[in-house]
Homo-oligomer: A and B are copies of this chain.
């Protein structure tokens, strides 16, 4: 894909990936509704295949690529959810899935990639080493690079989540999702605003990794220097493609403290009995800190993932 998707692209993507992903449930909590004076609808991508919405974009990117492009397999450099999602998508397509990981990647993440049939190449834990290792694999195998977020096909796939959410709860006033590289917020904005003109879409970002907030404020994409946040999925910088869309479609970004992220993660477990990763807790953290007035509103919140090391929960430190 060479340009931003439309709603009809996103709908077609949904058809293509539907046999391979969960239609995730939308959960509610009377306790949270009472606490926020709003009706909150949680789209549970923590229960998605590979435990994260990343399954959507990676699956669409791999399944929609022309045969010639993926004959040599696919490759990405990531230690997170996109790595597992791409490994799984490659195995669905029946092509090699090459994953470049830093040598210090947690064993649980390595295991997850291997479980889905991914072939891991280790490298030094620097961005330069990762990119070099991926480029080397591309050159040697002809594998197609699938970027975790700065890729129109990936963005198209991520947009399918909002289509499902609005199909189930059509009359939302706003949708709130975490912002990292921006792929999810980008796909969500495109789908939601086409399906329901007048709906507002907000991003939520850790205050310690607020490049997207600063980028939208200044109108110029800002670097993400030394991100300091427990929300490991949101430490990356906003992608160029998402930025071009978000400046036009996003209603705003709110920033959230680390304390609010951790306590929302824990509170979500206490009242909804689901484990979400810190990145997923950022939107609820924003509401907890009063960063967005949602009183009386019907609010969709995308819980992006549930990959957490239970033996190292943040509140057990």
Which residue numbers of A lie inside 8 Å of B, CB to CB?
22, 24-25, 27-28, 30-31, 46-47, 49, 51, 115, 269, 271-275, 306-307, 310-311, 313, 316
For the complex, give the distance between the alpha carbons of A272 and B46 in Å: 9
Q: Looking at the complex, which one of B115, B274, B313 makes contact with A31 (CB distance below 8 Å)?
A: B115
Q: Which residues of B contact A307 (CB under 8 A)?
A: 273
Closest 6 CB pairs of A and B: A25-B25, A51-B273, A273-B306, A275-B275, A46-B273, A310-B313
From the candidates B22, B24, B25, B310, name the one contacting A310 in the complex (CB within 8 A): B310
- List 19 interface pairs A-B (beta carbons < 8 Å), by A numbering: A22-B28, A24-B25, A25-B25, A25-B47, A27-B47, A30-B49, A31-B115, A46-B273, A47-B272, A47-B273, A51-B273, A269-B275, A273-B306, A273-B307, A274-B275, A275-B275, A275-B310, A310-B310, A310-B313
**Chain B residues near A311 (CB, 8 Å)?**
313, 316
Chain B contacts of A313 at CB under 8 A? 310-311
Q: Are B269 and A310 in contact (CB under 8 A)?
A: yes
A25: chain B residues at CB < 8 Å are: 24-25, 47
| Alpha-carbon distance between A290 and B269 when the two chains are bound, in angstroms | 32
Residues on the B chain within 8 Å of A275, using CB: 269, 273-275, 310
Cα of A49 to Cα of B27 in the assembled complex, Å:
10
Chain B residues whose C-beta falls within 8 Å of the C-beta of A273 in the assembled complex: 46-47, 51, 275, 306-307
Instruction: Give min CB distance, A81 to chain B, whole Å.
Output: 11
Closest CB-CB distance, A137 to chain B, in whole Å? Answer: 26
Measured between C-beta atoms, what is the minimum distance from A179 to chain B in Å?
A: 22
| A22, A27, A274: most-surrounded residue (chain B CB, <10 A) | A274
Q: Which residues of B contact A49 (CB under 8 A)?
A: 30
| Alpha-carbon separation in the docked complex, A139 to B25 (Å) | 44
Give bound CA distance, A146 to B86, whole Å: 51
With the chains together, A92 CA to B30 CA distance in Å? 11
Seed contacts A22-B27, A115-B271, A273-B306; 10 additional CB < 8 Å A-B pairs: A25-B47, A46-B273, A47-B272, A47-B274, A51-B273, A269-B275, A269-B310, A275-B275, A310-B310, A311-B316
The answer for the CA separation of A30 and B30 in the assembled complex, in Å, is 33
Q: Shortest beta-carbon distance, A276 to chain B, in Å?
A: 9
Tell me which residues across on chain B come within 8 A of A47, comparing CB atoms.
Answer: 25, 27, 272-274
Nearest CB in chain B to that of A307: its residue:
B273
Q: Give A22 to B30 CA distance when docked, in angstroms.
A: 11
Shortest distance from the beta carbon of A217 to any chain B beta carbon, whole Å = 35
**Which B residue's beta carbon lies closest to that of A52?**
B273
- The docked-state distance in angstroms from the alpha carbon of A33 to that of B49 is 14
